[in-house]
């Protein structure tokens, strides 16, 4: 028997880097965060994580805790998103990477190699990068804080301009 679809609540949030799409489950845990112009990628990630038809979407009727935290983050309270509860599918390794990303404080950056080493998986640099790229919860799970080994900006699912803005907003130095 097929389990019922996971009900998700969608909120559209105006931000300095474009409209953000935030989806939370009934327990208020953030499941997905992406940008409006990347809605197709978000749908692909949902299919990958929950299977075709494995979720349903309804529009929010009231602002969620996640929405209020994101609005505070964009207004300058960088710590507002730190305590948000998240939930993801994905492999055990992906979830380990996503958990490690949440330990990178605002204003700091790291590299794929350093992140892999932090997880006691120093040879898993490429796998760490792939897991970083598959992160379904941008900004809150701060994959934008990972830079190239030389400090340069490297790929970001939301585009390098957004990554640069987020890092400047957080006061991070990049090479």
pLDDT digits (tens, 9 = 90+) for 69-103: 999 999 999 999 999 999 998 899 999 999 999 99
- What residues act catalytically? 143
Residue with the bigger pLDDT between 156 and 81: it is 81
Say how far apart CA 149 and CA 5 lie, in whole Å.
Answer: 41
| Paired residues of 32 in beta bridges | 23
Instruction: Indicate if the pLDDT at residue 175 is higher than 80.
Output: no
Q: What percent of the residues of the chain are helix, what percent strand, and what percent coil, each to the nearest 5?
A: 40, 15, 45
Residues 22-60: pLDDT tens digits?
999 999 999 999 999 988 888 988 888 888 889 999 999
pLDDT number for residue 113:
94
13 DSSP β-pair partners:
20
Query: In sequence order, what E strands does 1-136 have?
Result: 6-13, 20-24, 30-35, 55-59, 110-111
Instruction: Enter the pTM of the model.
Output: 0.93
Q: What is the pLDDT of residues 130-147, one digit of tens each?
A: 999 999 999 999 999 999
User: What mean pLDDT comes out for the span 99-127?
Assistant: 95
Residue 12 makes CB contacts below 8 A (sequence gap 6+) with 19, 20, 21, 22, 36
pLDDT band at 157 (very low <50, low <70, confident <90, very high): confident
130's tokens: 């792939």
């Amino acid at each position: 028997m097929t389990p019922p679809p996971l009900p998700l609540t969608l909120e559209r949030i105006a931000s300095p880097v474009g409209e953000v799409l935030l989806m939370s489950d009934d327990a208020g845990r953030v499941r997905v965060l992406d940008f409006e112009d990347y809605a197709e990628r978000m749908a692909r990630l949902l299919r990958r994580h929950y299977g075709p038809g494995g979720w349903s979407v309804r529009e929010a009727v009231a602002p969620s805790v996640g929405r209020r935290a994101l609005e505070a983050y964009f207004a300058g309270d960088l710590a507002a998103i730190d305590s948000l509860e998240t939930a993801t599918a994905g492999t055990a390794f992906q979830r380990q990477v996503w958990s490690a990303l949440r330990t990178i404080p605002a204003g700091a950056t790291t590299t794929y190699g350093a992140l892999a080493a932090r997880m006691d998986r120093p040879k898993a640099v490429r796998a760490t990068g792939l897991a970083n790229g598959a992160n379904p919860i941008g900004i809150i799970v701060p994959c934008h804080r990972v830079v190239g080994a030389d400090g340069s900006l490297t790929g970001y699912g939301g585009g390098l301009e957004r990554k640069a803005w987020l890092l400047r907003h957080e006061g991070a130095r990049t090479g």
